[in-house]
Amino acid sequence: MRDHLREIGMIARALDSISNIEFKELELTKGQYLYLVRICEEPGIIQEKLAELIKVDRTTAARAVQKLETNGLITKQDDPHNKKIKRLVPTERGKALYPVIIREHEHSTNVALAGLSDQEAEQLLRLLKRVRHNIEGDWDAVKKGKKRDY
Partner DNA sequence: TACTTTTTGTTGCAAATGCAACTAAACGGA
Partner DNA sequence: TCCGTTTAGTTGCATTTGCAACAAAAAGTA
Residue ranges that bind a copy of itself, judged by CB under 8 A: 2-18, 21-22, 34, 53-57, 103-109, 111-116, 120-121, 123-125, 127-132, 134-136, 138-139, 142-143, 148, 150
**Closer by beta carbon to a copy of itself, 70 or else 134:** 134
Residue 26's binding partner among DNA, a copy of itself, none (Cβ under 5 to 8 angstroms by kind) is none
85, 145, 147, 150 from 31: Cα distances, Å: 23, 25, 29, 32
Q: Are 63 and 69 in contact (CB under 8 A)?
A: no
Q: How far is the CB of 63 from DNA (least distance, A)?
A: 5
Per rule CB under 7 A, count of chain residues that contact DNA: 31
Q: Which of 26, 29, 91, 113 binds DNA (CB under 7 A)?
A: 29
Spell out the residues 6+ positions from residue 88 whose beta carbon is closer than 8 angstroms to its own: 39, 43, 44, 45, 46, 47, 50, 65, 74, 75, 76, 77
Q: Are 33 and 64 in contact (CB under 8 A)?
A: no
The residues that touch DNA, with contacts defined as CB under 7 A, are 13, 17, 20-21, 29-32, 46-49, 56-60, 62-67, 76, 81-86, 143
